[in-house]
Amino acid sequence: MQFAGSHILSVHQFERADVERIFTVADRMEPYAQRRRITRVLEGAILGSMFFEPSTRTRVSFGSAFNLLGGEVRETTGFESTAIAKGESLYDTARVLSGYSDVIAMRHPAEGSVGEFAAASRVPVINGGDGSNEHPSQALLDLYTIKSEIAGRGRGIDQLRIAMVGDLRYGRTVHSLCKLLCLFDQLQVVLVSPGELRMPGEIVEQMRRAGLEVVESEQLEASIAHVDIVYSTRIQEERFSTQEEADLYRGRFRLNQSIYTHHCEPNTVIMHPLPRDSRDNAQELDDDLNDNPNLAIFRQADNGVLVRMALFALILDVVDQVDQHARDVNWYTARRF
Amino acid sequence: MQFAGSHILSVHQFERADVERIFTVADRMEPYAQRRRITRVLEGAILGSMFFEPSTRTRVSFGSAFNLLGGEVRETTGFESTAIAKGESLYDTARVLSGYSDVIAMRHPAEGSVGEFAAASRVPVINGGDGSNEHPSQALLDLYTIKSEIAGRGRGIDQLRIAMVGDLRYGRTVHSLCKLLCLFDQLQVVLVSPGELRMPGEIVEQMRRAGLEVVESEQLEASIAHVDIVYSTRIQEERFSTQEEADLYRGRFRLNQSIYTHHCEPNTVIMHPLPRDSRDNAQELDDDLNDNPNLAIFRQADNGVLVRMALFALILDVVDQVDQHARDVNWYTARRF
Amino acid sequence: MQFAGSHILSVHQFERADVERIFTVADRMEPYAQRRRITRVLEGAILGSMFFEPSTRTRVSFGSAFNLLGGEVRETTGFESTAIAKGESLYDTARVLSGYSDVIAMRHPAEGSVGEFAAASRVPVINGGDGSNEHPSQALLDLYTIKSEIAGRGRGIDQLRIAMVGDLRYGRTVHSLCKLLCLFDQLQVVLVSPGELRMPGEIVEQMRRAGLEVVESEQLEASIAHVDIVYSTRIQEERFSTQEEADLYRGRFRLNQSIYTHHCEPNTVIMHPLPRDSRDNAQELDDDLNDNPNLAIFRQADNGVLVRMALFALILDVVDQVDQHARDVNWYTARRF
């Protein structure tokens, strides 16, 4: 695809070469994200960060990514008392607000709303999550993490074995990740969930048509025995009508250090889109995994900054200028690990 | 007036020469607002954006205007749980918060509050709306839009014919605009509203004393037949005690493409302070006008950035330095239209 | 202490030399805070401002301090609907959010929470207030104000006479200030409060062990007759179970110009952590003191910016670079007083 000036709305708009291009650019952002270097390539540019629905980490990740490229961020959070409540159409909102920035990152609770907004926007829009529909930068950072974690083993994404665990029915991140995986070859995917929270059939079908080997299971231990990656998810209790119904599922597939040691191959990578639920009755990833070097969940969050920097650099077409506007960091950064 | 260091509190503080000065400076801001050039003239300066009442577009417009001049923005929105709720006076709030910035843009629900704040502030304050009282930058951007839209026809503001339509009783923007129009010569103003929502008598009187020809009407079609500008407004339903009362008025003066074609002179400019109410029972400006090239409502919103940049440049006295701190934009901006 | 890379969590971590070092650096920040000069020393750095509990002035003071050093600020306010509500641990929140910035300023309603967060953070954390526990930058700015106000009289902090007035039981700021005072010699402290709101015994003990002379009193006029500083505080009505209970104490120790003139020595400095309660039934510092040149409360708020700039410069280890990245201010600043 042509990145310059494009909206980023869905994982469906990417071909394999596009994903690989994003990852190549993300790799080049590492010195800046890790504060060894700074770049001012987007000095003077403005990101419009519009979160019609709260999401601290996604919002701050986008904002910091733009700051790391030298740009400014103007934010809007919570739209209850604003123009939309007074009957303004999303078209008008988009026409007006897109006049105030050079690129927009937007989250909205309604499916399809970000696409509708983008159609009226005068600047590129990145979908930061529209209801249960799409969240492409999350899927990209998940796949980028998979690539990074296994790169040191001389392997690529093709032929990997991945277990996805938990709420596969409502979990937007696993849906988008599965769609991206379809761009790669000979992967084996094990889907572990309660029967009621199975991956939607059309996504399973889509993966099989794309040549992936897909197995569904309700049993954790056997399913994670022969995989390279365990991707765990939170039971989205807010999707259930009662707390009791949610509690039926929360805590059903807990991974802890003991299970990991007894069942997983050495160096199996553990991922999670975060937040993980650390309350006693949940603990889908136990705290005792925190010292496990294969727990990649915080590197995964860090990778979000790299991927979002890459998206900004690509759609604003400054990839080749980033290093020209760079210099060394002049403050103390030694605590970072 | 002397702009450097001054508060901008009311349209009453301007003479005609002041308005023309602001517009001349606003014109010079266009290359920066349209992202052909960037300027860093206010690098290191801080705008205190204090919105004691929400207003997304005004807040973001001020913030982006300041960013476009190279400055930083520190924001405060919603004061429910802060010092004022603990009994702090506006005097104390102003003395303290004005120590944190170089200039302040402030909105507050109470009439006169911004002036009271400004009296205690140690830095210049721009009134971003104080209840039903004043919102001078909105009036300036409206008049700037009028000037810009008819400039291509070799005309100026003098002798223009303007229809104002809708809620003229509670609409703060039309009140302020009328006051600014009094600085110009030989204008004809048609005021179209339900009898109960007529323009306040003292403003009509003021316009007549200033030499404007003012006609009041309750009939839309005839009133917009021989004007250069139709300025439509939203029925401010939040000003009525019941929804039923508001519904009596909403949708009473709808302008759509068919009415426009049959009744207006060619190239009549359509304006609106936004947000327009696009719900079925309102539609004061129908969506079918969206492709009409004379629908100026989004250019009007864009002009808000120019006018606010001009105000900042004038009161911080950097007008003549803007171009010295400028350079070309280095990112992709082609989608903008 | 070693400042570079350190957390600033408690006044207990400072020795006298540390406090003096902070004040020396704060002095050097004055030209920048007063907008005679700007510095870009932290250009490219990001402050994560995380206010889990609202506090407009502390939040804006930290943010402006960072902007004045040339850095960017990414803010989070109010965490109701975010990850913590979904069961995320403070450990996870800290690990993730600390990946988005170079330094963090954090306020949280729970005692000890900021320390817990800091233990998991990958970047230095400054405690901006954790419940009734600590707020070290407030204590530092209070002491810095004391030093500055009496410096013109050729005196230092040693041997000063200070009266603290009001709610000494719940007032976090006086607790922290008392702890800092223990680092200095031969001070006399008069504690004036209703019996029910006395300073906690362990803090009184601590001061006495440190060699301070401490007197407790329930009588205002006699207590402020022979002191250099009167430090007044607000009755924290939110700490009482009923409004009636709070009203018993509010307004009990009012200082006004008449009392000041009749009882205080000339040039007695008046301080207050702000906000002061200016409602009729409170008025712990009467508005008629506003023209008293010894009312230091707004200089005190201004000093917060200096002290916070100093903390940032110290923990990011750029003190000696600040002046190298400086230049004169190019905009109009004459209104500041």
Query: What is the model's pLDDT at position C82?
Result: 57
**Nearest to A87, CA basis, from B234, B245, B300, B169:** B234
Domain identity same for C24 and C76:
yes
In terms of DSSP H, where are the helices of chain C?
Answer: 16-28, 30-33, 56-68, 90-97, 113-120, 136-151, 172-181, 201-209, 220-223, 243-249, 257-263, 297-315
Would you say residue B28 has pLDDT above 60? Answer: yes
Which residues form the domain of C318? 11-134+303-328
Domain identity same for A73 and A96:
yes
Query: What is the model's pLDDT at position B245?
Result: 78
B139, B179 in Cβ contact below 8 A?
yes
Domain identity same for B156 and B76:
no
For residue B45, the distance in angstroms to the closest alpha carbon of chain C comes to 8
Please state, rounded to an integer, the average pLDDT across all residues of chain B: 93
Lowest average pLDDT, out of A240-254, B180-194, C144-158, goes to A240-254
CA distance A336 to C102: 9
Whether residue A152 lies inside any domain: the answer is yes
In the block, tokens 């300066």 appear at B45
Query: What is the model's pLDDT at position C334?
Result: 80
**Nearest to A289, CA basis, from A301, A273, A272:** A272
Q: Is C76 on the interface with A (CB under 8 A)?
A: yes
CA distance B92 to B100: 13
3-state helix, strand, coil in chain C (%, to 5): 40, 15, 40
Q: Is A64 on the interface with C (CB under 8 A)?
A: yes
Domain identity same for B292 and B176:
yes
Distances (CA, A) of A247 to A75, A192, A256, B89, C80: 36, 18, 19, 49, 21
Query: What is the model's pLDDT at position A82?
Result: 57
Angle, CA B139 vertex, CA B107 and CA B202 arms, to 5°: 100
Q: Between chains, do B56 and A124 touch, taking CB under 8 Å as contact?
A: no
Domain identity same for A147 and A124:
no
Domain identity same for A118 and A194:
no
For residue B86, the distance in angstroms to the closest alpha carbon of chain C comes to 6
Beta strand extents in A28-124 (DSSP E only): 37-39, 46-51, 72-77, 103-108
Domain identity same for C36 and C60:
yes
Both structure tokens of B139? 């009036």
Both structure tokens of A313? 């650099």
Q: Tens digits of per-residue pLDDT, B288-334? A: 999 999 999 999 999 999 999 999 999 999 999 999 999 999 999 98
| A25-63 burial: b if 16+ Cβ within 10 Å, else e | bbebbbbbbebebbbbbbbbbbbbbbbbbbbbbbbbbbb
CA distance A8 to A128: 9
Report how many domains make up chain B.
2
Q: Which residues of B touch C70 (CB under 8 A)?
A: 44
E strand or H helix at A245? helix A243-249
3-state helix, strand, coil in chain A (%, to 5): 45, 15, 40
B62, B49 in Cβ contact below 8 A?
yes
pLDDT tier for residue C165 given thresholds of 50, 70 and 90: very high
Would you say residue B337 has pLDDT above 60? Answer: no
CA distance B136 to B62: 13
Q: Between chains, do C45 and A331 touch, taking CB under 8 Å as contact?
A: yes
Higher pLDDT, C162 or C172: C162
Instruction: Work out the burial of residue C23: count CB atoms within 10 Å of its CB; fewer than 13 is exposed, 13-18 middle, 19 or more buried.
Output: buried
B73, B130 in Cβ contact below 8 A?
no
Mutate to test the interface with B, among A40, A43, A89, A96 (most CBs of B within 10 A): A96
Whether residue C66 lies inside any domain: the answer is yes
Whether residue A5 lies inside any domain: the answer is no
Q: Which residues of C touch B82 (CB under 8 A)?
A: 54-56
**Nearest to B58, CA basis, from B174, B138, B145, B117:** B138
Whether residue B273 lies inside any domain: the answer is yes
C139, C179 in Cβ contact below 8 A?
yes
For residue A191, the distance in angstroms to the closest alpha carbon of chain C comes to 24
Domain identity same for B190 and B235:
yes
CA distance A71 to B175: 38
Look up residue A145 and give its DSSP letter.
H
Which C-chain residues 248-307 have CB contacts (< 8 A) with chain B? Answer: 274-279, 282, 287, 290, 297-298, 301-302, 305
Domain identity same for A39 and A159:
no
CA distance C67 to C44: 11
Would you say residue B228 has pLDDT above 60? Answer: yes
| C242-257 burial: b if 16+ Cβ within 10 Å, else e | eeeebeebbebbebee
Query: What is the model's pLDDT at position A62?
Result: 98
Would you say residue B84 has pLDDT above 80? Answer: no
Q: Between chains, do C56 and B83 touch, taking CB under 8 Å as contact?
A: yes
- Is cis: bond before C273, omega within 30 of 0? no
Whether residue B82 lies inside any domain: the answer is yes
Query: What is the model's pLDDT at position B251?
Result: 73
Query: What is the model's pLDDT at position B140?
Result: 98
Nearest Cα residue in chain A from B337: A122
Q: Tens digits of per-residue pLDDT, B120-143? A: 999 999 999 998 889 999 999 999
- C144 CB contacts (<8 Å, ≥6 apart)? C22, C23, C26, C303, C306, C307
Both structure tokens of C204? 């009184």
Question: Within 10 A of C262 (CB to CB), how many other CB atoms are there?
Answer: 9
Least CB–CB distance from A88: residue in B73, B75, B275: B275
Q: Which residues of C touch B72 (CB under 8 A)?
A: 67, 72-73
Whether residue C291 lies inside any domain: the answer is yes
**Nearest to B165, CA basis, from B249, B261, B263, B287:** B249
CA distance C301 to C139: 12
- C53 CB contacts (<8 Å, ≥6 apart)? C107, C108, C109, C129
Whether residue B118 lies inside any domain: the answer is yes
Mutate to test the interface with B, among A86, A104, A106, A123 (most CBs of B within 10 A): A86
Residues of chain B with pLDDT > 70: what percent? 97
Query: What is the model's pLDDT at position B82?
Result: 57
Lowest average pLDDT, out of A208-212, B77-81, C96-100, C233-237, goes to B77-81
CA distance A140 to A163: 18
Domain identity same for C204 and C221:
yes
Query: What is the model's pLDDT at position A79?
Result: 65
- C307 CB contacts (<8 Å, ≥6 apart)? C22, C26, C137, C140, C141, C144
**Nearest to C70, CA basis, from C301, C328, C309:** C309
Q: Which residues of B touch C270 (CB under 8 A)?
A: none
Query: Up-side HSE of residue A313: CA atoms within 13 Å toward CB?
Result: 31
**Nearest to C274, CA basis, from B91, B79, B117, B88:** B88
Please report the number of interchain residue pairs, chain B to chain C, with beta-carbon separation below 8 angstroms: 106
Question: Within 10 A of A251 (CB to CB), how many other CB atoms are there?
Answer: 15
Whether residue B336 lies inside any domain: the answer is no
B187, B158 in Cβ contact below 8 A?
yes
C62, C306 in Cβ contact below 8 A?
no
Q: Between chains, do B282 and A102 touch, taking CB under 8 Å as contact?
A: no
- Main-chain dihedrals φ then ψ at residue B307, nearest 5 degrees: -65, -40
Query: What is the model's pLDDT at position A16?
Result: 98
Look up residue C133 and give its DSSP letter.
S
CA distance B308 to B256: 31
CA distance B223 to B207: 18
In this structure, which amino acid lies at residue C233?
Answer: T
Q: Tens digits of per-residue pLDDT, B142-179? A: 999 999 999 988 899 999 999 999 999 988 899 999 99
CATH number, position C281: 3.40.50.1370
CA distance B265 to B259: 11
E strand or H helix at B163? strand B161-165
Q: Which residues of B touch C329 (CB under 8 A)?
A: 44
Domain identity same for A224 and A284:
yes
Q: Is A102 on the interface with B (CB under 8 A)?
A: yes
Please report the number of interchain residue pairs, chain A to chain B, with beta-carbon separation below 8 angstroms: 105
Domain identity same for C50 and C165:
no
For residue A47, the distance in angstroms to the closest alpha carbon of chain C comes to 13
- B240 CB contacts (<8 Å, ≥6 apart)? B246
For residue C128, the distance in angstroms to the closest alpha carbon of chain B comes to 15
Both structure tokens of C169? 């039981």
Q: Which residues of chain A are under the pLDDT cut of 70?
A: 79-85, 335-337
Query: What is the model's pLDDT at position B4?
Result: 97
Supply the ipTM of this predicted assembly.
0.94
Q: DSSP per residue over B42-68, as a string? A: TTT-EEEEEESS--HHHHHHHHHHHHH
pLDDT tier for residue C80 given thresholds of 50, 70 and 90: low
Residues in chain B, how many? 337
Least CB–CB distance from A274: residue in C91, C96, C101: C96
